[in-house]
Amino acid sequence: MATERQELIRAVELAIAGDWQGAHKIVQQDEADQTSCWLHAVLHKIEGDAANARYWYGRAGQAYEAYADAKAELTAIKAALTY
């Protein structure tokens, strides 16, 4: 079951607001969706768990090094979801 786009947008908004746990709970619902995996990766980057973040970046088909700033990356994910 694919996580609803609105739920992923909510997860991004929670992450931007600093609610790591709330955002993480949403992205864990669909570990097959690439956008969900990308957001999951950013959350672990924010947490400081580089190894786990790199795993999720790999699942998402994204690069760990692509964004130096997590908020900019979250904004890019939100833009991709609302396009």
- List the CATH number of the domain containing 14: 1.25.40
What is the number of H-type helices and E-type strands within the chain? 5, 0
Q: How many domains does the chain have?
A: 1
77 located within any domain: no
Predicted TM-score (pTM) of the model is: 0.92
> Do 37 and 31 form a contact (C-beta atoms < 8 A)?
yes
70 located within any domain: no
29 located within any domain: yes
Task: List the domain range (segments joined by +) for residue 27.
Answer: 5-63
Tens digit of pLDDT at every position of the chain (83 positions):
355 899 999 999 999 999 999 999 999 998 899 999 999 999 999 999 999 999 999 999 999 999 999 999 999 999 999 88
